[in-house]
Amino acid sequence: MGGHWGTRVDIQIFGESHGRGLGIVIAGLPAGESADMAEVARQMARRAPGNEISTARREPDQVEIISGIKDGVTTGSPICGMILNTDARTQDYRAMQTSPRPGHADFTAHARYEGHADMAGGGHFSGRITASLVLAGALTRQYLARRRIVIGGHVASIGGIADRRFETMGADVADFARLYAMDLPVLEEAKGTDMRQLILEAKEEGDSVGGVVEVMACHLPVGLGEPFFDSLESQISHLLFSIPAVKGVEFGDGFALTTMRGSKANDAYKNCDGSPCLATNHCGGALGGLSSGTPLIVRVAFKPTPSIALPQDSVTFADGSASRISVPGRHDPCVVPRAVVVVESVVAMALTDAWLCRYGEKG
């Protein structure tokens, strides 16, 4: 199984949901960068389950740094961080060894790894692996914050109930601290109440719901990224599609741009202290694969959680005979609230890589 990404920041993930643990190796972060582990713990806590709208599995998600950080400062050697599993219940996953769960990776992984993949709790395909991404994000967002770049996100919609969108020129940056503190982060609290209700209803029915996460990165300089294959949008999307359950990504006005005239879709220029800058942000922060100086805004679509209690059709691996599968165990009725910090984290990873590509270790 491959789990490798990055140009200057070089990242490798490992682990399984019900194995000993999981973790990440991050090479390429320059030496001498301070790494506040209390802040890392705060970010990890944002993803960890612990309320009625998430899985009942309880994991402290405590990070153990094996290498690369000493006395709260990066040493320049690869950073290895591990998170041990403490609350696995492998017996819940026996049925998936004989019949694949609809919507999960059991079927494709069984074919690819010829039945050898450890699929208990989703194995390496589990949403639990995103804890490693949050660890990488918690370190890289500290690196970016020292360069003024801040990243925040919210639940843009769940099952069709929509929060208002981020104001496109970045005014909502003032709300990031409030959003970080919420277990279902929304700009309009009444929408959050409705979303929570919908998640609880789906859970009660043994079903699940999906939704959209919107993330914004503010104070980017003009010109981060590369044209073509390594465009800023390509790099961010590459990481976003690595997050389990992600099915769609749009930047700025995204698909809505297809219904506009050029005269409305284009972002006109204005004078900012003697240099050109964008007066609007339909592009979502990137032009020609390079950051445009406006906030980078991305929306990410998550499908409903595949593991549901309602019975569904499947077949046995052994002989293809029909079976019905009702997934026991502890699952998120909606992955979206916990995914907000995951999306922020991969955006931080991509922007740090782009920053190091552009400005180097001394930048």
Ligand X SMILES: Cc1cc2nc3c(=O)[nH]c(=O)nc-3n(C[C@H](O)[C@H](O)[C@H](O)COP(=O)(O)O)c2cc1C
Where does this chain bind ligand X (CB under 6 A)? Answer: 55, 104-105, 122, 125-127, 130, 243-245, 303, 305-307, 331-332, 335, 338-339, 342
We find the least distance from the C-beta atom of residue 296 to ligand X, in angstroms, to be 21
Pairwise CA distance, residues 150 & 75, whole Å: 24
Considering the complex, state which of residue 125 and residue 166 has its C-beta at the smaller distance from ligand X. Answer: 125
Pairwise CA distance, residues 276 & 280, whole Å: 12
Instruction: Number of helices (H) and strands (E) in the chain: give both, helices first.
Output: 9, 19
The answer to whether 148 and 170 are in contact (CB under 8 A) is no
We find the least distance from the C-beta atom of residue 31 to ligand X, in angstroms, to be 32
We find the least distance from the C-beta atom of residue 43 to ligand X, in angstroms, to be 13
Considering the complex, state which of residue 168 and residue 345 has its C-beta at the smaller distance from ligand X. Answer: 345
We find the least distance from the C-beta atom of residue 202 to ligand X, in angstroms, to be 13
Name the token pair of 219: 């104070």
We find the least distance from the C-beta atom of residue 104 to ligand X, in angstroms, to be 5
Q: Are strands 79-84 and 69-70 parallel, antiparallel or unpaired?
A: unpaired
Write out the DSSP string of 96-155: HHHSPPTTSSHHHHHHHTTT-S--GGGGGGSGGGHHHHHHHHHHHHHHHHTTT-EEEEEE
Name the token pair of 232: 């800023």
We find the least distance from the C-beta atom of residue 188 to ligand X, in angstroms, to be 23
Considering the complex, state which of residue 135 and residue 286 has its C-beta at the smaller distance from ligand X. Answer: 135
We find the least distance from the C-beta atom of residue 332 to ligand X, in angstroms, to be 4
The answer to whether 120 and 104 are in contact (CB under 8 A) is no
The answer to whether 363 and 356 are in contact (CB under 8 A) is yes
Pairwise CA distance, residues 260 & 197, whole Å: 35
We find the least distance from the C-beta atom of residue 303 to ligand X, in angstroms, to be 6
The answer to whether 78 and 24 are in contact (CB under 8 A) is no
Considering the complex, state which of residue 141 and residue 203 has its C-beta at the smaller distance from ligand X. Answer: 203
Considering the complex, state which of residue 57 and residue 141 has its C-beta at the smaller distance from ligand X. Answer: 57
Pairwise CA distance, residues 15 & 7, whole Å: 22
Considering the complex, state which of residue 9 and residue 240 has its C-beta at the smaller distance from ligand X. Answer: 240
- In this chain, which residue has its C-beta nearest to ligand X? 127
Considering the complex, state which of residue 8 and residue 104 has its C-beta at the smaller distance from ligand X. Answer: 104
- Please report where in the chains the tokens 């390079």 appear, as a residue: 290
Pairwise CA distance, residues 307 & 356, whole Å: 39
Type of residue found at 73: V
Considering the complex, state which of residue 27 and residue 317 has its C-beta at the smaller distance from ligand X. Answer: 317
Determine the Cα angle at 136 with ends 241 and 87, to 5°: 85
